[in-house]
Structure 1
């Protein structure tokens, strides 16, 4: 995995000068690039995965979290601009889906080309934004919430040293998404696919289907077996779907 010290936001395990497509992959609240660790071996050579690493995790533990989603999006947007010299798409999971939508809008506002596709995973559409107060929980309750969602191994969260590393970013990200205004500037001018786990208790089919409002292009809602972290349970099937949408001519 490579990244330039001047651009700590991205990790490029297979850097290519002229790929057919670059796919930006954004993690969930408190998540890291490990969410997509298998994708580099599942994506075809013509699709270059670009994994986004927000502040507060991995080698960015000391980097401060932004004050809000708009600041996060602007910082990320400036970091990925050099990669938009090739056709690109973006996949965001949970909180990452919200950030992905806002990122596309920010880049368009700055005059950059639209993506070929926007994938929003395990996230309700903005008009159904839940908000919440998870970021106000104490460490025990916050760890319990992570275990309930299924994205973190319970045995890891039982280790004080792991909690000390993981929970600050989790709490910070929950603060960002739970205080998010949920008022995007508008729809995106590209195809949008919403993806959900059939057993995900964090959103309803109606909330996921609401993403259709946020594109002027084709929309599709797809369901996979599993819960909120279905993408870790069915990575091959998911990546196959993503590739078919990116590489099949319209």
Structure 2
């Protein structure tokens, strides 16, 4: 605990307990401790993250699920019903899709990511709920049969403006792929790309929910409204989270 605190870990006591609990012996504990002191994210060192009460496997090089993203799940649960078809874009570990599928029975869950390592990680996490993973850019790898029939699309794409990347914590900036963090000049490059095509995949009355930043939310909402979707913004001050919701017109 002292060594973690000296290295700048804010939650040194909690992290020490987790490392001790996961290590099989003192030699492995020392190895894990040195990796954490060197700046690797705790979740990568452990190989798992806790998210909405679930234990999510995390592989090196895959975006670590943030606790504020639980707010995106909470909003998605309000529009997801048993039997819904849900697509988790830029899925990373698949944590969002897994959380939704765990709480809503009998949904069809598809998860897509451009990174094969992330897709492999998500496939392992989603296996228990029958989730299907796809490797490719946004909607491109999804089967055409889903076009126009998706009830809910959830998106946690990068939304940090390029100029602000240098201000990110080193454990994210140095240990997670830049493409999972850098959202382009205004932070919403990927949001614009999602907005431009999501209407083709949603069924009438379907919803897309995109995690955004407090500053970027207006731009995300404009992108969705410009694509013909009704928009709303939900925020949680407690979780420091913002979600932009787009709704396809009903029939």
TM-score computed with the length of structure 1 as normaliser: 0.39
Larger gyration radius, structure 1 or structure 2? 2
TM-score computed with the length of structure 2 as normaliser: 0.39
The structure with higher relative contact order (CA 8 Å, sep 6+) is 1
Structure holding more strand per residue: 2
